[in-house]
Amino acid sequence: MPKTNRTRVAVLGLLTTSCKTGYDMKQFIDQSLAYFWKISYGQIYPTLKQLVEDGAVRIKNENADKKEYEITSVGREELTNWLSELPDALPTQKNELLLKLFFSKNQEVEKSVALLRHQQELLEEKLAAYEAIEEMIRESDEESEDELYWMMTLDHGKRLARASYEWCEASIKTLRG
Amino acid sequence: MPKTNRTRVAVLGLLTTSCKTGYDMKQFIDQSLAYFWKISYGQIYPTLKQLVEDGAVRIKNENADKKEYEITSVGREELTNWLSELPDALPTQKNELLLKLFFSKNQEVEKSVALLRHQQELLEEKLAAYEAIEEMIRESDEESEDELYWMMTLDHGKRLARASYEWCEASIKTLRG
DNA sequence: GATCCCATGTAAGGAGTTACATGATTCT
DNA sequence: AGAATCATGTAACTCCTTACATGGGATC
């Protein structure tokens, strides 16, 4: 049994929001789920084409300049099947900072401290970005069923960013102490 | 300027630990850094070959059955350059659970709760695995300079796993409340 | 008139996984 | 004798990014 292609299901999921075109999807992702999922045009357009071939998606309105898509019942089934699937393990989250730190006996302590301080700055920026997205979702007029779930994913981002920030703080103390 | 190949530097870093052969590296990674970095034989062997061509690594001892490698001064420079590089942004950590949750208005609430409960089980297993690795590092006779850094990366894993666990707890309450 | 944004797409290549092939040694 | 583990490697494939190509419409 081949494992599910996540780009496929992400595109299907996006068609259950206000996204109708490939362009919409890219815009939407860049301003909302970019912090835990990214996607490029090089994935979106070929995936849409494939989904149409498979009958999971149909073209609503074919103009030369703006193709609108909608999900079919076949697509909905594929989406909901994937949604309820339980993973058999936690995926490895590749982390370049940790990889560097792991080998940091090979550099001066102050360089590692600089790495951690810089990480803290990036995390502060990220937290600010989360607040901005939260504000944007809250202010959108549409009373969407999605809102609750979107806030939950943001909450995850915020909690992990805070935990990571605190770890930086503790690690700097360890290195200097 | 092409961005640095992380497999290359990971292999170089491994050669500053007790790893000498490609096989060693795979074993070592699987029992220590696997929770934030993975690597396969399909990457290790071609990378070692390339590193030798580039003069970053040399073969110490060529038997048919066990090739031992060591890092050269050229390789050390590549490694230390990479170690001190500051990233310009935090990488997107792809997270399939969050992707599912993001689209979960398309499924029954109890299925999302099941997803979160299952996540908690996996996180508990992971935390137990961290404790085991910590124990292993502490009990190793060799008083290594590496130890401090390895413990720091483990601490990161533990803090984030705990934060994620708490988020699951809070999210389940939100969904049911 | 030029520049930016909307909008769709393709081609090349990097990064990584999986499955396979091979053979030696060690354990039961 | 057979199974597991040690050990090195390759080929095919998936996934994804980046750079490019194209053209219409809006803005300055």
Q: Mention the CATH class of domain B6-84.
A: mainly alpha
Residues 141 through 170 of chain A touching chain B, CB cutoff 8 Å: 144-146, 148-150, 152-153, 155-156, 159-160, 162-164, 166-167, 170
Give chain B's residues under pLDDT 70. Answer: 1-2, 62-64, 141-142
Which nucleotide minimizes the distance between its C1' and the CA of A3?
Answer: D14
Using the Cβ of A109 and the Cβ atoms of chain B, whether some distance falls under 8 Å is answered with no
Å from the B44 CA to the D5 C1': 19
Predicted pLDDT at A136: 84
Q: Is the CB of B42 under 7 A from strand D?
A: yes
Task: Report chain C positions within 7 A of protein CB atoms.
Answer: 6-12, 14-20, 23-25
Predicted pLDDT at A119: 98
Measured CA angle at A24 (ends A19, A30), to 5 deg: 110
Residues 5 through 24 of chain A touching chain B, CB cutoff 8 Å: 6, 9-10, 13, 16
Predicted pLDDT at A137: 84
Å from the A39 CA to the D18 C1': 13
Q: Is the CB of A66 under 7 A from strand D?
A: no
Å from the B5 CA to the C20 C1': 27
Predicted pLDDT at B3: 81
> How many CB pairs below 8 Å do chains A and B form together?
199
Q: Where are the domains of chain A?
A: 6-84, 96-176
pTM for the model stands at 0.95
- What is the torsion angle, in degrees rounded to the nearest 10, for the CA atoms of residue A148, residue A150, residue A151 and residue A155? 140
Q: Is the CB of A67 under 7 A from strand C?
A: yes
CB contact under 8 A, A102 and B163: no
pLDDT in tens, B161-170: 999 999 999 9
Using the Cβ of B130 and the Cβ atoms of chain A, whether some distance falls under 8 Å is answered with no
CB contact under 8 A, A115 and B84: yes
Using the Cβ of A66 and the Cβ atoms of chain B, whether some distance falls under 8 Å is answered with no
Give chain A's residues under pLDDT 70. Answer: 1-2, 62-64, 141-142
Predicted pLDDT at B130: 95
CB contact under 8 A, A150 and B37: no
Q: Which candidate, B24, B23, B28, B7, places its Cα nearest to that of B146?
A: B28
